[in-house]
Amino acid sequence: MRFERKDLLDLRTISSEEIELILDTATSFREVLERPIKKVPTLRGKTIANLFFEPSTRTRLSFELSAKRLNADVINFSSSTSSVLKGESLLDTAKNIIAMKVDALVIRHSSPGVAHFLAKKLPVSIINAGDGAHEHPTQGLLDLYTIREKRGRIKGLNVTIVGDIAHSRVARSDIWGLVKMGANVKVCGPPTLIPKDVDKMGVKLTYFIEDALSGCDVVIMLRIQKERQKEAFLPSLQEYREFFSLSEEKLKLAKPDVLIMHPGPVNRGMELPAEVADSTRSVILDQVTNGLAVRMAVLYLLLTR
């Protein structure tokens, strides 16, 4: 199968065959990361620009390193040190970067749809690295990859996502991807943080973490975004911790070999107690390593079409 897309914008419109192809390709790149020389010449001569209009460490570093591992050149742009401050529009900024003969743009922005907008307007490949609360497709893919790597399959597994579903682009990409790959997905959180029509995405909903955890194979904990506290979605952070943090006690309801995942950054002691985050069931750091392999696969597939 050939990857026909110019861009990777979301997991909502991607097919399960395309997801399989990305994950299979990532498996080959995962092996490259174990070599003494962790670099292959595949994208020699290509240039990739990282445009980050929102703070990010993990994702930006991961994209930068993935590109470098493939021998592409990388330029980094962050809005705080750029002409955006002088009032240049997003499209003008992007067009100016492309005029420097760049082959792909990786974009992170607080507004949903920015990557889609640029993909329509520009001839180069656009990769969505997170657009507001909309999607974060490479995070969704690396979560799928990690589950498949650890369990050998995705189909039929019970996967629970706990936390602020409403404001989470990770949750949205995870849900689209997991449902497409045949997992049974449950979401769980306080009613104020669950989007209204979430059941239309093919998931089950519960407000009780005990229901969500019972018999589950994988639990994906989301970061509770402390800045949301100001908007009065939560009575108090202490109450949230009481009801929704993943304690050892609550974890006993899940399968004994349950995988614990988190997209990072972790609020230790908030959604995840430290001893759970550091336990052997936690695959949080594997997710980070796999993120490199998945992003290498995405860059390879988009830039060698």
Partner 1 sequence: MGNFMKIMNEGEIERILRSLCQRILRKKENLDNLVIVGIQRRGAILARRISGLIEDLKGQKIPVGSLDINLYRDDLSRISYQPVIRDTDIPFPVDDKYILLVDDVLYTGRTVRAALDALLDLGRPRKIELLVLVDRNCRELPIQADYVGKKIVVSPEKLVEVRLRELDKKEEVVIFQREKDEI
Binding site for partner 1 (CB under 8 A): 2-3, 24-25, 27-29, 31-32, 35-37, 39-42, 45, 300-301, 304-305
> How many other CB atoms are there within 10 angstroms of residue 16's CB atom?
14
- Whether 59 is catalytic is yes
Q: How far is the CB of 37 from partner 1 (least distance, A)?
A: 5
SS3 assignment, position 109: strand
**Residue 1 or 85 with smaller CB distance to partner 1:** 1
Report the residue count for the chain: 305
Q: How far is the CB of 2 from partner 1 (least distance, A)?
A: 5
- Whether 58 is catalytic is yes
107 - beta bridge partners?
Answer: 51, 128
**Residue 69 or 136 with smaller CB distance to partner 1:** 69
Residues in Cβ contact with 4 at an 8 Å cutoff, skipping those fewer than 6 apart: 305
Q: CA neighbours within 13 Å on the CB side: how many for 95?
A: 8
Give the whole-angstrom CA distance, residue 115 versus residue 126: 7
Instruction: Give the active site residue among 2, 35, 81, 86.
Output: 86
**Residue 32 or 253 with smaller CB distance to partner 1:** 32
- Whether 136 is catalytic is yes
**Residue 26 or 94 with smaller CB distance to partner 1:** 26
Instruction: Give the active site residue among 69, 136, 180, 186.
Output: 136
Q: How far is the CB of 18 from partner 1 (least distance, A)?
A: 12
Q: How far is the CB of 20 from partner 1 (least distance, A)?
A: 12
- Please give the DSSP secondary-structure letter assigned to residue 222: P
- Whether 134 is catalytic is no
Instruction: Give the active site residue among 47, 59, 93, 146.
Output: 59
- Whether 116 is catalytic is no
Say if CB 125 and CB 303 are below 8 A apart.
Answer: yes
Q: How far is the CB of 152 from partner 1 (least distance, A)?
A: 16
75 - beta bridge partners?
Answer: 49
Closest to 53 measured CA to CA, from 4, 120, 105: 105
**Residue 39 or 226 with smaller CB distance to partner 1:** 39
Handedness of CA 55, 56, 61, 66 (dihedral sign): negative
Instruction: Give the active site residue among 6, 58, 151, 281.
Output: 58
Beta strands in the chain (DSSP E): 47-52, 73-78, 104-109, 125-131, 158-162, 184-188, 204-206, 218-221, 259-261
Say if CB 244 and CB 271 are below 8 A apart.
Answer: yes
Q: What amino acid positions are annotated as catalytic residues?
A: 58-59, 86, 108, 136
